[in-house]
Each structure stands twice: as structure tokens, then as C-alpha cells.
């Protein structure tokens, strides 16, 4: 069945679009009262994402409420280490944490990629429910964490401002680091391919901690593994969003993916010059703009749109929406993008 609103897919493929499409990272989340109610029904974050019917419900809520041009699967990037044999907890107000971490080859040897699909059945079941209930109104975006970001959590055991333990491993034991990154990469490819097989129309890699590395280190320990994933995923458009990695944008221009995400630190002009004219760009409004007045939000959104231009562009925030932002402000941003007419006379 043909997707009724395929603007994002066409933009990602570099085809002409009548207007700029828009979706928002973390659009299915605490900014919505409906999400909070569904999460309360589930009992916890992990219970919610492991319940296919409820995960489908919160995935579709932003489509119904905001009218965004795509749904994004409600899940978590850390399902991959858990599927490999490294379970995590999601502590309220503290974020994710791991009781065990990878510090040695012995730790790595305890992991297995043999049961990735079986251990993530709940994700694939959720995709099936989403596709049924979404009824091809808009595309469904699947996603995974990029290998470096997943590596950070598996070595550090929790979020960190510096991820110094993770960075230290790159210097102290680069062979172990590469072995772990390769294992994560292989698991991620299997995972994304199954998301696509179950119905995801495009996928995104989130490299949330790209910006804590310098350019040379990122080129050695991050980009080769992203490239391997991009090489493997040819069925649907793939977006790479490496937060804070503006220094590697020129290198990312050669990645075999369709779209490059742009964070709010990076100007549209810089991104376009670095990436070139062939790829689509996505981004990049500072989420903090949504704390401003309606007039300010409209003004800043118009400036962003003009800077990126009408084609080969997907509007989004430069990172995920913050949970305490008024959902009406987010809706204004989305509606402003969808109503905007470029003056080309």
C-alpha cells in the first residue's frame, strides 16, 4: 500500500517536495500528557517499550496530536547491549545504568550476537502493531544507536559528561575497543535490517556522544563502523546524526547514506558546504528556542528554513525535544514549518 504522506521519503531520496517535511526527535515522550498517561499505565519506561501495544500507542500519538510527517519507533538505543547480554536499568531521574561493564576481553567474551533477533522480538512486534494502526498515513522511522555511543554506555556503565573511561580504553587497549565496536556494529546491522523487514520505511543512527571525541579519534573509532552500517543498509533511506561532530562533516559527506543530521551548534551554510549538494540535510533548531514566545519561535523557524532551503531538507530540532517544553510550542514549530512558503520570485 502506498504511503499517503511520503514527503520525508522523497526528501531523503533527494526528490522534489511540495513543502519541507518535519518530524522531531523525542516527539514521542514526556512533552505529551498522553504519553505520560500511557507510561503510568505501563508502570516503567522499560515496561512501556517492551509492551508492543503500548509502544505502538506512544509512537503514533505525535502523528495524531501534532500532525508530524513521520512516526519514529518508540524504543531505546540500549536495547542492543541488553540483547547482547549486558542488561541495563532505567532509573527514574537518573538515566540508564549497567551493573556490569566491558573492561576486558573476558567481559567481551561473555557477550553474544547469536540471539539478537530473539531477544528483540518485542521491538519487532511493536513495529508490526504500529504499521497496522498507522495504516500508511506517514512513514515509520526505525533507529539504533551508533556503535561509538553504545560503546560509551557499555564501558562507562552510565551517562557521563566526559566518558573518560570509554576514551581511556581507546588509548590503553585499542584492540579491545575495536573488537567491541565491531561486535556492536554487527548486532546493529542485524537489528536494523529486521526493523526494515518488519516495515520501517527509513532508519536513523544516533551518535549522541560523537562530540566528546576529537576529529582524528572519531575518524579511527567511530566513522568506520558507521560506514559499515551504511554499506549494509541499502533497502531504505538512512540518516546519520552525529551530535557535536561538526569537525567530521566533510568526512561524513562520503558516507553511503541519504541524509545527514545537523545539530544546533552547526550552521546550515557550514553543513551544506561540508556535506555537498547530493545529500539531504536534517535539523537543526535549538530545542531551547521552544521556551520562547510564539513570535520568537516563528521567527527562528523561518530563519532556519530559509537557511536550509526548500529541497533536500527535512526540518527537525538540533537534538531531542526537552521534556518540560510546552507541547503547544512544539506544535507551533511543526505547523510553522508545514505552512511556510518560500519566496522564489
- How many Å from the N-terminal Cα to the C-terminal Cα in the chain? 37
Active site residue 30: yes
Residue 94: Cβ-neighbour burial (10 angstroms; 0-12, 13-18, 19+): exposed
| C-beta neighbour count of 339 within 10 angstroms | 10
- From the candidates 88, 153, 225, 313, give the one annotated as an active-site residue: 153
Q: Given the residues 10, 13, 30, 137, select the one marked as catalytic.
A: 30
The 3-state secondary structure of 91-122, one letter per residue: ECCCEEEECCCCCCHHHHHCCCCCCHHHHCHH
Q: Is 137 marked active-site?
A: no
- 110-127 burial by CB neighbour count: b if 16+ within 10 A, else e? ebebeebeebbeebbbbb
Return the number of other C-beta atoms located less than 10 Å from residue 132's C-beta.
11
Active-site residue, selected from the candidate residues 6, 35, 39, 207: 39
- Is 258 an annotated catalytic residue? no
26 annotated active-site = yes
Query: Residue 19's closest CA among 38, 5, 4, 2?
Result: 5
286 Cβ partners below 8 Å, 6+ apart? 264, 300, 317, 318
Which residues touch 18 (CB under 8 Å, ≥6 apart)? 7
CA distance 302 to 289: 12
Q: Decide if 281 contacts 252 (C-beta within 8 A).
A: no
Judge whether 39 counts as a catalytic residue.
yes
| Residue of 76, 186, 207, 263 marked active site | 76
Which whole-number Å values give the CA distances from 127 to 44, 63, 66, 203, 208, in the listed order? 20, 15, 20, 13, 23
* Active site (catalytic) residues: 26, 30, 39, 76, 153
Amino acid at each position: 500500500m502506498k504511503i499517503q504522506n511520503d514527503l520525508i521519503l522523497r526528501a531523503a531520496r533527494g526528490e522534489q517536495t511540495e513543502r519541507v517535511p518535519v518530524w522531531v526527535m523525542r516527539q514521542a515522550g514526556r512533552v505529551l500528557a498522553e504519553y505520560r498517561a500511557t507510561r503510568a499505565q505501563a508502570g516503567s519506561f522499560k515496561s512501556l517499550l517492551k509492551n508492543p501495544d503500548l509502544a505502538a500507542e506512544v509512537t503514533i500519538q505525535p502523528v495524531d496530536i501534532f500532525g508530524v510527517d513521520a512516526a519514529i519507533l518508540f524504543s531505546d538505543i540500549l536495547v542492543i547491549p541488553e540483547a547482547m547480554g549486558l542488561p541495563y536499568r532505567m532509573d527514574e531521574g537518573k538515566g540508564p545504568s549497567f551493573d556490569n561493564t566491558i573492561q576486558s576481553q573476558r567481559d567481551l567474551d561473555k557477550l553474544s550476537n547469536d540471539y539478537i533477533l530473539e531477544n528483540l522480538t518485542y521491538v519487532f512486534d511493536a513495529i508490526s502493531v504500529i504499521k497496522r494502526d498507522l495504516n500508511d498515513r506517514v512513514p515509520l522511522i526505525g533507529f539504533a544507536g551508533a556503535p561509538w555511543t553504545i560503546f560509551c554506555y557499555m564501558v562507562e556503565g552510565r551517562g557521563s559528561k566526559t566518558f573518560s573511561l570509554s576514551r581511556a580504553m581507546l588509548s590503553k587497549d585499542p584492540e579491545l575497543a575495536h573488537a567491541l565496536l565491531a561486535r556492536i556494529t554487527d548486532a546493529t546491522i542485524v537489528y536494523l535490517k529486521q526493523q526494515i523487514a518488519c516495515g520501517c520505511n527509513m532508519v536513523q543512527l544516533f551518535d549522541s556522544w560523537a562530540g566528546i571525541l576529537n576529529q582524528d579519534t572519531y575518524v579511527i573509532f567511530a566513522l568506520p563502523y558507521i560506514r559499515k552500517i551504511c554499506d549494509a543498509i541499502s533497502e531504505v533511506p538512512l540518516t546519520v546524526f552525529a551530535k557535536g561532530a561538526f569537525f567530521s562533516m566533510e568526512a561524513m559527506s562520503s558516507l553511503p547514506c541519504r541524509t545527514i543530521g545537523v545539530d544546533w551548534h552547526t550552521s546550515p551554510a557550514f553543513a551544506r558546504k561540508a556535506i555537498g549538494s547530493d545529500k539531504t540535510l536534517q535539523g537543526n533548531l535549538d530545542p531551547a528556542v521552544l521556551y520562547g514566545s510564539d513570535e520568537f519561535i516563528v521567527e527562528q523557524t523561518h530563519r532556519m528554513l530559509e537557511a536550509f532551503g526548500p529541497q533536500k531538507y527535512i526540518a527537525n530540532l538540533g537534538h531531542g525535544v526537552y521534556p518540560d517544553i510546552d507541547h503547544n510550542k512544539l506544535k507551533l514549530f511543526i505547523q510553522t514549518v508545514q505552512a511556510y512558503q518560500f519566496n522564489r520570485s
